[in-house]
Amino acid sequence: MRMTFRWFGEGNDTVDLRHIKQIPGVEGIVWSLHDMAAGVEWPMDRIEEVKKQADEHGLNIDVVESVNIHEDIKLGLPTRDKYIENYKKTIEKLGKVGVKVICYNFMPVFDWTRTDLFKELEDGSTALFYEKAIVDDMDPMDLVNTINDNPDFTMPGWEPERLAQLSKLFDAYKEVSEEDLWNNLQYFLEQIIPVAAENDIKMAIHPDDPPWPIFGLPRIITGKENLRRFVKLVDSPYNGITLCSGSLGANPNNNVAEMVREFADRIPFAHIRNLKRYDNGDFIETSHRSEDGSVDILEIMKAYHDIGFTGYARPDHGRHIWDEKCRPGYGLYDRGMGIMYMWGVWDSLNRYKENN
């Protein structure tokens, strides 16, 4: 297991590289050019700039999260080809600086969705919270109007550029069924995976978060059956999964440890995080410890250990603790403790194995 830590870039993150380097066992940053719009070809000088910053701190840049997919690709519009060409060129450039994994997602319009970014937990820390009824009852068009009437309105994880396009996008997606989305994903992969393979970069799709359709938009990377279908779309080790325990774990029917075992040779990147599920479909993110949430992180680590996992891992979202002011879900302290929990389990499993 090769430990990494997500970093949003100079001036765009409250955590600095010096501190990341001080977390035991962290080899590299998980990075992106967050100001690049989906669909553009990344400039080489910007990629090299990140490499230089990481090099100076003895950290690698092997994992990129994410190179975002243009909506026209997900919608299957004729204009998709030019965005796919740009994607290929970005892959080639990332290959030149030694990138090994590209994480991306195929969720229409929105990335991860939460209803409260700073929900208080019993101990006074705060964390990302999802209240199902709020999302279920929200008419997407009301949402568009609210945003239009309140220029300062922000929703977690939703970029302003995407919001501006929202009503047009909702209209466009009315024509797109789940099957269409599968076909559009396949079209994308058939073109991208050979280029990724040539550049020795593993593509790793991130599951949908939450793993069910929201606002009437289709979502397909949601559980075991769909992952089975996904890996067959292009049957290559370069067509992989970012197995996110938190995204998948929001659905009680998803057994993440089982998925680790089943998709063992198709997981170049592991996201580890815990959450507490409520019976009504709400969930709140918690510490990484198994006891603190509904996802059995210990069992998941055991599964990774059993398969001899040598891929990259990172702690996913953490709580906000010790009065830290940080990006929602991406503070230093709780993610740092998450790493120590993972190492604690991992080292014990190693030692136990040696002695038996």
Under rule CB under 6 A, residue 244 binds ligand CS2: yes
Q: Which of 71, 208, 316, 334 binds Mn ion (CB under 5 A)?
A: 316
Site for ligand CS2 in 195-224 (CB under 6 A): 206, 209
Catalytic residue among 72, 244, 296, 304: 244
271 as an active site residue: the answer is: yes
Residue in 247, 255, 274, 286 binding ligand CS2, rule: CB under 6 A: 247
Q: Which residues pair with 203 in a beta bridge?
A: 102, 239
Spell out the long-range contacts of 232-238 with Cβ–Cβ below 8 A and sequence spacing 24 or more.
233/182, 233/185, 233/186, 233/189, 233/190, 234/186, 234/189, 234/190, 234/193, 236/193, 236/197, 237/202, 237/265, 237/266, 238/193, 238/196, 238/197, 238/201, 238/202, 238/203
Residue 111 near ligand CS2 by CB under 6 A = yes
Catalytic residue flag (residue 206): yes
Task: Based on the residue annotation, tell me whether 326 is a catalytic residue of this protein.
Answer: no
- 316 near ligand CS2, rule: CB under 6 A: yes
**Interaction of residue 100 with ligand CS2, rule CB under 6 A:** no
- Single out the segment in contact with ligand CS2 by CB under 6 A; choices: 8-16, 100-108, 180-188, 248-256: 100-108
C-alpha span between 205 and 221 (Å, rounded): 8
- Please tell me the count of residues contacting ligand CS2 according to CB under 6 A: 13
- In which region does residue 9 sit, left (phi positive, over 0), alpha (psi from -120 to 50) or beta (all else)? left
The gap between the terminal CA atoms of the chain, to the nearest Å, is: 21
For the question of residue 288 being annotated catalytic, the response is no
Give yes or no: 296 in active site: no
Q: Applying CB under 5 A, which residues contact Mn ion?
A: 244, 271, 316
Q: Applying CB under 6 A, which residues contact ligand CS2?
A: 65-66, 103-105, 111-112, 206, 209, 244, 247, 271, 316
Question: Catalytic residues, which ones?
Answer: 206, 244, 271, 316-317, 330
